[in-house]
Amino acid sequence: MFFFSIAAFSQTATGTIDNYVGAIIDNAPGNSGDNYNEPNTTELNTWNDIVTSILSENISTARTSANIINYKLTEFTDTSISPNQVFYVLEEKSPQSNYWGTYVFSKTPTRNNLIIQASHSKYDTNTGKQAVYCFKNLVAKALFINGTHRCNSNNFSSCSGTTSVCGSSDSYRVSDMAHTTTSMFQKTTENLFNAISNSVFIQLHGFGKKSTDPYVIMSNGTREIPTIDYATLIKETLLIEDNSLTFKLAHVNTSWNRLIGFTNTQGRLINSSSDHCNASATTTSGRFIHIEQEK
């Protein structure tokens, strides 16, 4: 009992990050229950301070601030990697009350500018665990995992776009991290985008493939061709692994309109839209890659 008390107080854990975050994903609320609570301005500001402290390696300060909003910062040592890797896991304490998601930061990233995001881990089959796998094996800078099913909240987002994934066609829910600007997911994106000058955000999604669809649909959030075309580079690399794959890229196949992420609020932010909530971007930074894969 004494050991567990010390472990809880020091906020440390060991094992594999796959299993640790995978369990959080498995236990996240589903498409009903109205568990998700939209953060207020004070909470968003506190969260921003926490993320800034983590990036500055002020872990003690980050923990103090996290405690204010029922979060904790666990120093997790992944013993399945050689050499062992230390990750800082920003996760909600039990009992949970807000479900703002889980955010993981590498202490010594191999790819200091790479951020992996899964905004629909409960709806887009396996994308959460796929994101963890990519984050771990690439030793990326950060990993974002949403906190509930995208349809969990009864409240609607004010941001543009509609969807029928929650029933009849309607506005997105505030629990849909890809379609709201008042979320910890968006705030963390904003912080890292501004703090890391060459940061690149890869957001993983899954879709039900129609007979007319390719296996993979990718977008940088616009029709524009970026200076560094990461989507095309990813396509070329995937084809080396599996040359049976078919693709549509929104900035190459400009007549293709399905699942191209133009209403995605992280993409709008990263591409400097005039209104992240209501206006699609018209220019691209090249630092946002939206990947839709057959479920």
Q: Each residue's pLDDT tens digit in the chain (295 positions)?
A: 333 333 445 699 999 999 999 999 999 999 999 999 999 999 999 999 999 999 999 999 999 999 999 999 999 999 999 999 999 999 999 999 999 999 999 999 999 999 999 999 999 999 999 999 999 999 999 999 999 999 999 999 999 999 999 999 999 999 999 999 999 999 999 999 999 999 999 999 999 999 999 999 999 999 999 999 999 999 999 999 999 999 999 999 999 999 999 999 999 999 999 999 999 999 999 999 999 999 8
Is 192 inside any structural domain? yes
Q: Are 69 and 46 in contact (CB under 8 A)?
A: yes
Look up the pTM and report it: 0.95
Q: Is 63 part of any domain? A: yes
The answer to the question of residue 292 being in a domain is no
71 assigned to some structural domain = yes
Q: Closest Cα partner for 39 from 30, 47, 28?
A: 47
In angstroms, the CA 138 to CA 132 distance is 10
In-domain check, residue 85: yes
Residue 5 has a pLDDT of 33
Residue with tokens 């796959």: 18
Looking at residue 21, its pLDDT comes to 99
Residue 255 covered by a domain: no
Q: Does 15 map to a domain?
A: yes
Which pLDDT score is estimated for 10? 62
Structural domain span for residue 75: 2-207
Q: Is 246 exposed, middle or buried (0-12, 13-18, 19+ CB in 10 A)?
A: exposed
Amino acid identity for residue 264 in this structure = N
Q: Are 104 and 135 in contact (CB under 8 A)?
A: yes
Total of domains in the chain = 1
Kindly state whether residue 244 falls inside one of the protein's structural domains.
no
User: 120 and 150 in contact (C-beta within 8 Å)?
Assistant: yes
